[in-house]
Copies of this chain bind each other. A is one copy, B any other.
């Protein structure tokens, strides 16, 4: 929605024709926005409910080993691509980066379904998805290395070096393709290219760290409010009217956004202007102040605008735009449309940063005799770059929301080309993460994972409690004993009853009920299939047939029905720990090996089972949270 005569004089006597044309523009702006938003939400509702949101929490969960059927399907791909264009055009406060990662993962899933090597192996498929996520960010931002690191730091669960290398290759191809298409027409991949003429000074680290604090606070505020609002949406009637919700938020956004030039244009353009130096921005109101006592800057030459001090208007508008963005983004993220967070977060940070930057610049101009300025700021010289503050602020806010570190700094480089500002960016990222982590360890993506109750075992949390496997395994004291199969004494009917009465994923197989010595594990799914096949194809298999998992059939009395050999479905190397194993080790094993369950034994005797859900529940209990708040869909 950019390009709409943004730099109109703020006040002044306008003719009737002018005014009515403005009103018409205003109305058309709102109507177009509503139309786009309505189309988008309807398409999502009707064709692909999974196309909503940023998709990153779900992809994180999928990469951790959980399966959400259809989440990476072809319909999702198609609808998310189309609706993403619509919602970005509707002027809502959202970005396209997260959704593009989702779109890229859908593509990755589609391509891996074409090759049996990948479609049959969940682990290999996940590697492809990790690489696809990297390519997604690579395209979204023109930041190939940042994409790889984003996939490593934020999206992926396991990230072996082999995946790093493949993601790198995917990102290279993506960047190359982008470069060939050359969408910005300047043979640059860099989205918000900046070229500053002044270096930064040590004393400026103080405002940079302040911006880091602001970013951390904004991150915390955003996550808390957004999660509270989303929970309200999930639990009250509000969630039943997603289309209405989108329409209302779009209407409010359009009505408030249009009058303010900083919210009217597209957010990317806004960020670009805020990042830039005044040298490149002669015509911007942001630079309409006189810093140079010799008046060498020709402020009067710019037509159609009174000279000097327009910056006060700009500051007011910027402040209003900042408050508006902060509030509206909380309500926008999580609606039933594709919505990313990178651009709005960066916009909030860039606005705050630019304001701080202009403030520091004015301070340095008026008080260049202060000790902190004396060393590096000569009277009349341009010693402060407000654009750099905007850049640092953007990094801080993005860091506060997502808790990225390395990938954040690399993405900021690749977006701006500002390699010399690595220390300010890193300082802001570190501060922002510290401040935000002090209020809660979860980034926005983990918070949404918890909100949706996905079984996600976060690799970042440390588990340091001194509990043992025996405290977590089931059956607990007083619970009925574990449902097990014996190796050679149960009939087909016994097993079928057991399958019918329980919903476990699989059953441990023991020598006999007395000895309870574990010999393996049988998957429910394979068991059902094997029995079904045997009943249909093998002669003499009846409900009374003995099932055996041993190499040789058991000795049976004469006249017994033909026994059924099921050794093929027996996993002879199930994962086991002893009951004395510290839970710290168990958690580590679950994470690193991506287990879904683990059997607990003592000297070979089966004692119980620990599933991923048990581990998650235990971790939540230990963290003194309400264990019931984690629901498993």
Contacts and interface: CB of A to CB of B under 8 A. Distances in A.
22 contacts: A149-B406, A153-B161, A162-B462, A164-B405, A164-B406, A165-B405, A168-B405, A168-B409, A172-B423, A172-B427, A175-B423, A175-B426, A180-B202, A189-B420, A190-B420, A414-B419, A414-B422, A417-B419, A517-B604, A519-B603, A573-B582, A573-B585
A588 interface: yes
Contact of A413 (B161, B405, B419, B578): B419
Contacts of A420: 188-190, 417
A605 B153 CA distance: 42
Contacts of A459: 160-161
Nearest to A487: B603
Closest 9 CB pairs of A and B: A604-B604, A572-B580, A573-B581, A592-B592, A172-B426, A573-B578, A517-B603, A168-B405, A187-B199
Contact of A603 (B169, B190, B511): B511
A430 B572 contact: no
Given A165-B405, A175-B426, A593-B593, 18 more contacts: A145-B406, A149-B149, A153-B161, A153-B164, A162-B460, A165-B433, A176-B427, A189-B420, A417-B419, A469-B573, A517-B603, A518-B603, A519-B602, A572-B580, A573-B578, A573-B580, A576-B576, A592-B592
A589 interface: yes
Contacts of A161: 153, 459-460
Interface string A130-153: 000000000000001100110001
Interface in A567-610: 572-574, 576-578, 580-582, 585, 588-589, 592-593, 601-605
Instruction: Tell which of A419, A460, A592 has the most Cβ of chain B within 10 Å.
Output: A419
Number of copies of this chain that the complex holds: 2
A606 B15 CA distance: 95
A291 to B, nearest CB: 22
A462 B124 CA distance: 12
Contacts of A572: 578, 580-581
